[in-house]
Structure 1
Amino acid sequence: MNDFTTPRGPLPPFTLETAQKKVKAAQDAWNTKNPHIIKYGYTPDSIWRNRGHFCRGTDEIVEFLTKKWEVENGYRLRKEMFAFTDNKIAVQFWYEWHGTEGQWWRTYGLEDWTFAEDGRMRKRQMSGNDVKISDEERWFKEGVDVNTVDISEKHW
């Protein structure tokens, strides 16, 4: 059910298995590119820093993501966990997108997440860098499972 009353499992405290499930659930939600689905993974008063942009609450998150995907076309994302504690998860991510002019980009980044007891993200901090790529350099082309792409050490 999409509401703010149903817990969003897995719940903290996290284990290796549940933290990895949480990361892939976030990845899958973001790959819908639907801010009205994504918002339910965050507390109503969630705090974000996305590069130099700051959001507070799900209304601002929906507004931010709506504007993001008006610019970032063809968006496809992969997230991988690299550390966790009881209620925190750190991820690295890669996503590809193109602007209205057709130029492809790959965004490399790191995120720091803190969760509330109900399993919703209470805090998200994101740092990322955009790298211009050619169509031939793309990893996440249509029909490719983003989880099966071999991301070599040079891209860590």
Structure 2
Amino acid sequence: MDNVLIVVDDLEAVKAFFIELGLKLEGQTTVEGPAVGSLIGLGDVRSTIAMLRTPDGQGIELDKFHTPDAVRFGPVDAPVNTLGLRRIMFAVVGIDAVVARMQAHGAELIGRMQYETSYRLAYLRGPEGIIVGLAEQFFSANS
């Protein structure tokens, strides 16, 4: 996988959220013109994109459309069982500290749980209703 695209309205807020989570801004630019429109199936396209990377190199592309306007499909706080891409999950170390840091940055804790003796999980809702999952894997002395 190279990246996942998230279309956003407030590029700066969402970018700051993912940077706080530990992603690095790889670059940001504005794209427009017939070639871009032809690629994505829209006319008169102008958008600003920011590419972020996880420490292991996976990408998240944030896209703020200036023209045509982005279309909101459903409520911002759609539940996790809404059809379509609903969350991105990241492997973390020190899940409690990450949750606290993200809450201080404005994220809402949806819930947490421990899965047997292998994982601790947490779901957070960030800017624009984006749901982020956090997974901390436990390693036993036998592994």
The answer to whether the superposition gives a TM-score over 0.5 is no
- Higher share of residues assigned helix: 1
Of structures 1 and 2, the larger Rg is shown by 2
Q: Normalising by structure 2, what TM-score?
A: 0.28
